[in-house]
């Protein structure tokens, strides 16, 4: 089959051949004519020379009428191969002497009587000849004319040769041009394809993909000749991107629990949904008086996946970490949840202290967490932690296998705690649809490379059918990492990885929240008043708010520094403004987290010492767990919400704040290093490392005119409502359904072709 470049070259070569033929057709007669003129001029000169040589002996012989000598003279002269014949005519025009070769029809070559110029070229039956005459005189008396006849047949030979060479020349020229064209077009085609590929992978990934995430390797610059094309392609892609977004956003307006349920029933008919995560959605804890209370953990993962599970039912497998967890499960370690209105099953997995220490605190949170966040805390990798990590992944995989009622359940694996589990489940349930979602960032390949078990981690994850990240940037980092450390086949355009006999689809699915319905929400005014009363500040006191797990990736120190700087730069705010930080204690058994808590407390105290007075605290720090309803009240009571993560996969606090503000008021200060910054463009986007920038954004938020607040808030609310968590799960499940269908078709084809083979043999 002809390659595309050869076809293109042929398209060019055909007209080229016609053009060159035409050229030869015009050039050959021109060359002939030119050669003839040169030859005639040569023969004119030659004839003059010969005549001059023969003049003297001929004159004497004519005077003596010595015929014998004249014959000898003439015959001697025509021995020259070109001189064909000689003749001599007297003044009356009578041919007196001639060689035997002299053409009779030529006579005395009289001049034309009509005054036209006598032609030296005469066409005779034997071929063309050149004729020239020279007068022979004796002391001024004309004795006659010597007529010299040159053979011109060599001109024809020369013309034929010239024609041949000209044609050969054009043919060779044609071949050379064709060859060069082929070569150049082939090389350019390849070069173009390569550059286009680069461009599509790096330069043309939507601009926002080229995030400024810490540790990001910038894509190589495009070759200069591609610049105009890049511009064109970029705008085309952006148009496409916008169209895609607007079409999916139209769909997403309808993404709701009912739609998700319908999708599960129709597209994944009868399939069972299993969720695996480390953190459980409901923690049963014992109070001091022996009663049991249920607590919701501070976890973005739980916030999002819980909404999906309520819609889909199924079983959620998680670590039972609460002090009363064992007391509340049945003999299969199951407990129906949510407690007040059960809609799915929580299956608890029990871990020993040693397992939790090595797998959760050690490998997951001292190793993978800092490794993926690149937030200036060095990851720690210990073999003993790794062994526990492998063991616990096996424990959870076994739980999944045990809970599966069919051989093809849909398994939703959550986060970095279970990188090995997808392959373990795949080996036991080859037909399962395994969707793994990585809730934290994925670093660049160099950074990831420091993990001593990087290959094992990647191999484990590639047991998934679908692998999801929050942003295209993290997805691309993952593809690069696999490309660097594993022997796989990657299709970057389709975003798939083939490893062994399995195909993994790698996609970005930005996570979100369930849009709240507000029936029992306190009115904003009431929240404002009550929260200010709780805090002991006046009614018109300005509030900014932050809520996070107490984690070094959240930029809490930078946030406090921004508050300090804002008070320095805008002293009118002193006494009139406070920053409320709720920090849910997290991973407090780790030294890094203990130290971090100390630093947070110390900094808050320093700022309060510096700017506080008479019960006035610029920073109100509450290091304790708060329930969601309480947080809602803070969101609604504050002028500004600050999210200043140094690196964050998505950050749902930002979206929760937006969702809480049904009054369309309030301003969001948002770190550019969060996945949320890719969606919430109307927030005040900052680099949290730039303290003054954070300070000014905070001030701007506190003083933002209501009209501007409304405009920004309205647009962000619209987006969060449409791009909700059901859309997040729906897109993953739709992709899974598509892949399952494809797999079923492939299986039919395989068994069909096996049947055919058996029949043939
Ligand atoms: O960001 C990753 C994540 O799993 C979140 O989903 C969640 O907010 C957080 O970590 C919870 O951490 P942990 O379960 O260790 O308290």
Beta pairing partners, 669: 642, 684
The protein residue with its alpha carbon nearest to ligand 1, atom 10, reads 299
Kindly report the length of the chain. 761
**Cα 301 to averaged position of ligand 1 atoms, centre (Å):** 6
Q: 3-state DSSP call for residue 621?
A: strand
Average of pLDDT values for 687-703? 98
Supply the pLDDT for residue 243. Answer: 46
Most ligand 1 atoms within 8 A of CB, residue of 275, 278, 279, 418 to mutate: 279
pLDDT at 206: 41
Statement: the pTM of the whole predicted model exceeds 0.85: no
User: Pick the residue with more confidence: 117 or 557?
Assistant: 557
| pLDDT for 75 beyond 50 | yes
The pick from 297, 298, 301, 656 for probing ligand 1's pocket by mutation, whose C-beta has the most ligand atoms within 8 angstroms, reads 301
Distance 624 CA to ligand 1 centre (A): 16
Distance, CA of 663 to chain centre: 40
Query: Which of 23-37, 205-219, 518-532, 742-756 is least confident?
Result: 205-219
Q: Which atom of ligand 1 is nearest to the CA of 415?
A: 4
Residue 366 alpha carbon to ligand 1 centre in Å = 13
pLDDT band at 175 (very low <50, low <70, confident <90, very high): confident
How large a percentage of the chain has pLDDT more than 70? Answer: 88
Say how many C-beta atoms besides its own lie within 10 A of residue 677's C-beta: 24
pLDDT tens column, 611-654: 999 999 999 999 999 999 999 999 999 999 999 999 999 999 99
Beta carbons of 509 and 649 less than 8 angstroms apart: no
Beta strands in 117-214 (DSSP E): 121-124, 127-138, 141-151
- Which is the closest atom of ligand 1 to the Cα of 279? 14
Using DSSP bridges, classify how beta strands 292-295 and 83-89 pair: parallel, antiparallel or unpaired: unpaired
Asked if residue 3 has pLDDT above 90, the reply is no
Residue % of the chain over a pLDDT of 90: 60
pLDDT of residue 521: 85
Given a cut of 90, is residue 546 above it in pLDDT? yes
Q: Is 699 exposed, middle or buried (0-12, 13-18, 19+ CB in 10 A)?
A: buried
CA 695 to chain centre: 36
CB 733 within 8 A of CB 412: no
Query: For 525-535, what is each residue's pLDDT tens digit?
Result: 999 999 999 99
Residue 354 Cα to ligand 1 midpoint, Å, equals 20
Residue 177 · residue 16 · CB < 8 Å:
yes
* 659-679 confidence digits (pLDDT tens): 999 999 999 999 999 999 999
What number is the average pLDDT over the span 334-344?
A: 96
Q: What pLDDT is stored for residue 30 in this prediction? A: 85
Helix %, strand %, coil % for the chain, to 5?
Answer: 55, 15, 30
Distance 722 CA to ligand 1 centre (A): 24
pLDDT at 92: 87
The mean pLDDT value for 286-305 works out to 94
As a whole number, the mean pLDDT across the chain is 88
Could you tell me which of 508, 452, 501 has the C-alpha nearest to residue 477?
508
* pLDDT for 220 beyond 80: no
Kindly report the protein residue whose alpha carbon is nearest to atom 16 of ligand 1. 586
In the reported structure, the alpha carbon of residue 418 is separated from the centroid of ligand 1 by a whole-number distance in angstroms of 13
Q: Whose CA is nearest to atom 14 of ligand 1?
A: 279
């Amino acid at each position: 089959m002809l390659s595309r470049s050869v076809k293109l070259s042929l398209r060019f070569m055909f007209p080229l051949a016609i053009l060159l033929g035409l050229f030869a057709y015009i050039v050959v007669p021109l060359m002939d004519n030119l050669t003839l003129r040169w030859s005639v001029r040569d023969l004119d000169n030659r004839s003059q020379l010969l005549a001059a040589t023969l003049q003297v002996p001929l004159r004497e012989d004519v005077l003596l009428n010595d015929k014998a000598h004249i014959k000898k003279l003439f015959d001697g002269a025509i021995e020259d191969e070109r001189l064909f014949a000689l003749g001599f005519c007297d003044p009356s025009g009578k041919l007196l002497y001639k060689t035997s070769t002299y053409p009779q029809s030529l006579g005395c070559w009289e001049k034309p009587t009509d005054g036209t110029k006598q032609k030296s070229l005469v066409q005779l039956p034997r071929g063309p000849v050149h004729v020239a005459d020279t007068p022979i005189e004796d002391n001024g008396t004309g004795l006659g004319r010597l007529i010299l006849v040159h053979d011109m047949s060599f001109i024809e030979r020369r013309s034929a040769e010239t024609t041949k060479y000209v044609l050969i020349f054009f043919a060779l020229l044609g071949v050379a041009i064709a060859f060069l064209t082929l070569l150049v077009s082939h090389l350019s085609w390849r070069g173009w394809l390569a550059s286009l590929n680069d461009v599509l992978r790096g330069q043309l990934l939507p601009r926002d993909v080229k995030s400024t995430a810490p540790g990001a390797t910038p894509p190589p610059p495009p070759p200069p000749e591609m610049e105009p094309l890049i511009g064109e392609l970029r705008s085309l892609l952006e148009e496409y991107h916008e169209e895609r977004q607007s079409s999916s956003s139209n769909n997403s307006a309808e993404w709701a629990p009912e739609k998700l349920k319908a999708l599960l029933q129709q597209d994944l008919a009868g399939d069972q949904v299993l969720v695996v995560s480390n953190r459980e959605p409901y923690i049963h804890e014992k109070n001091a008086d022996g009663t049991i209370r249920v607590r919701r953990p501070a976890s973005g993962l739980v916030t999002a996946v819980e909404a999906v599970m309520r819609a889909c039912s199924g079983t959620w497998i998680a670590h039972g970490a609460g002090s009363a967890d064992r007391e509340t499960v049945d003999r299969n370690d199951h407990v129906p949840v949510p407690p007040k209105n059960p809609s799915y099953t929580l299956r608890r997995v029990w871990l020993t202290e040693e397992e939790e220490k090595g797998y959760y605190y050690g490998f997951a949170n001292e190793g993978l967490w800092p490794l993926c966040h690149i937030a200036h805390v060095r990851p720690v990798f210990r073999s003993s932690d790794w062994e526990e990590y492998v063991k616990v992944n096996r424990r959870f995989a076994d739980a999944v296998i045990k809970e599966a009622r069919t051989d093809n359940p849909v398994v939703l694996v959550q986060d970095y705690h279970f990188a090995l589990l997808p392959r373990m489940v795949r080996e036991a349930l080859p037909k399962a649809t395994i969707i793994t979602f990585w809730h934290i960032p994925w670093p660049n390949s160099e950074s990831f490379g420091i993990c001593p078990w990087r290959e094992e981690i990647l191999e484990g994850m590639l047991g998934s059918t679908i692998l999801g990240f929050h942003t295209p940037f993290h997805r691309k980092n993952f593809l690069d990492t696999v490309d660097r450390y594993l022997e796989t086949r990657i299709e970057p355009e389709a975003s798939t990885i083939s490893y062994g006999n399995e195909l993994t689809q790698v996609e970005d699915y930005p996570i979100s929240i369930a849009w709240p319905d507000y029936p029992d929400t306190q009115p904003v005014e009431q929240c404002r008043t009550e929260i200010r009363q709780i805090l002991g500040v006046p009614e018109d006191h300005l509030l900014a708010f932050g809520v996070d797990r107490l984690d070094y990736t959240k930029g809490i120190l930078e946030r406090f520094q921004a508050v300090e700087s804002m008070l320095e730069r805008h002293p009118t705010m002193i006494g009139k403004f406070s920053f409320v930080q709720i920090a849910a204690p997290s991973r407090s058994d780790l030294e890094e987290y203990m130290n971090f808590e100390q630093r947070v407390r110390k900094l808050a105290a320093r700022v309060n010492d510096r700017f506080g007075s008479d019960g006035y605290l610029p920073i109100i720090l509450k290091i304790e767990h708060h329930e969601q309803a309480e947080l809602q009240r803070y969101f609604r009571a504050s002028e500004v919400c600050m999210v200043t993560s140094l690196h964050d996969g998505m950050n749902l606090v930002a979206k929760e704040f937006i969702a809480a503000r049904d009054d369309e008021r309030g301003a969001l200060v948002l770190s550019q290093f969060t996945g949320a910054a890719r969606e919430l463009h109307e927030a005040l986007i900052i680099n949290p490392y730039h303290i003054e920038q954070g300070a000014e954004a905070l001030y701007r938020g506190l003083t933002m005119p209501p009209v501007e607040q409304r405009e920004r808030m309205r647009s962000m609310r619209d987006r969060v409502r449409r791009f909700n968590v059901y859309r997040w799960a729906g897109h993953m499940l739709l992709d899974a359904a598509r892949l399952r269908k494809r797999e079923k078709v492939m299986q039919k084809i395989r068994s069909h072709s096996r049947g055919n083979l058996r029949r043939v043999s």
